[in-house]
Every structure is written in structure tokens, then in C-alpha cells.
Amino acid sequence: MAIPTTPTDQQLVAQLREGNAAAYTQLFDRFQPTLYVYARKITKDKDEAADIVQEVFLYLWDKRDSIEFDHNILAYLYSAVRYKFFNLLDKKKVRLDYADSLKKYMQEGSPETDNLLREREMLRLIEEQISLLPPKLKLIYELSRKANMSTAHIAELLDVSEKTVQNQVSLAVKQLKMKLGALQLTGLFLSAEALAELMKKL
């Protein structure tokens, strides 16, 4: 039986696991343009998009002998791009939170209040609850709230209706608010004002 002149994705992945650099190059050439377009859509920044895609392929090579593909290679790479994107958002948020805290300290000349520390702990716990949302619900919520994407943009990106996006975001917010109320009962008591502000952030 003649060997196909163009190897399939599965054949390239098998060769990649064996450390075949040529297979890795072919995978890069095959999928990099598509992943870059996708990364540009979600980051809206060409440099960040290029960095994310590069990191994904570097990781693919570094972990080539241990990565397990539950789906096809392209689906895996799409997920990896999303993961890197949300990591980037989290890092930006940390930098902004640190800058805000430093500014507050410089203006007031005093350490953060106990209530602010409790609010930060509550936010940390909320992030944990976000991570426990069903995958698609979590993705839509994070694209809406963390990436600040419009309903239309998310619908186009995920190939669903805008109504579906709206319903999913509403469902996620409802679930998180219920969790927030439950967390408040664990001993992380905030003022009514602080609790109201947290609700606005969902």
C-alpha cells in the first residue's frame, strides 16, 4: 500500500512523540496560521497573539512524549491557546491589583484594611468557584467578564447564537452569586457595601 505523500495529523503526532523534528515543523506550518488568527481574535493584540501561539508550540515540543490528546490535535491546540490567554489575563489582573494597592498605600500612608483583605480572600474563593463551572459555561463567562468580549463577538467565536451567550452568562452569574452568598456564611463577613461591590464584579 502506497504511503500518502501528505501525512495525516495522527501520523505527524505519532512521529512527534518519537521526537521527530520534521513532524513538529509540519504541525507548526499546518496549524500556526489558524491558531494565530484565533489568538488575534481573543487578544486583539498581534504581539500577544504571536507570543501565545509560540508558547503553545514550545510547550508541545517540550512535552511531546507525555501529552495525551483526548480530542484531535487542532482541538487540543485551540484549548492550549485559550489556557495561555486566560493565564495572561490573570497576570495582568495581578499587576493591576498590585498597582492599585501600592497607590492606595502611597495616598493613605497606611496598610490595607482588614475588610480589604477579606474582600481579596473572597475574590480568591470566587475564582475557585469559577474554575468549577462546566467547561463551556466557564469559557463563555470568562470571555465575557475577563476578556470583556461583546455578546456578538463571543457568539461568532464559538459559533453559537447571541441568545445562547446571554443565557449562559446569566446562568454563570446566578450560580456565582449563590456561591458568594454561601461563602459569606463561612465567616468571611463583609460590610454591605463591600458585598455589593463584589456582586457587581461578577
Contact 158, 140 (CB under 8 A): yes
Other C-beta atoms closer than 10 Å to the C-beta of 68 total 6
pLDDT tens for 153-187 read 888 887 888 898 899 888 888 888 887 776 655 55
Q: Where are the domains of the chain?
A: 8-85, 113-202
Residue 193 identity: E
Topology annotation, domain 113-202: Arc Repressor Mutant, subunit A (1.10.10)
Topology annotation, domain 8-85: Rna Polymerase Sigma Factor; Chain: A (1.10.1740)
pLDDT tens for 100-116 read 554 554 455 444 455 56
Residue 117 identity: L
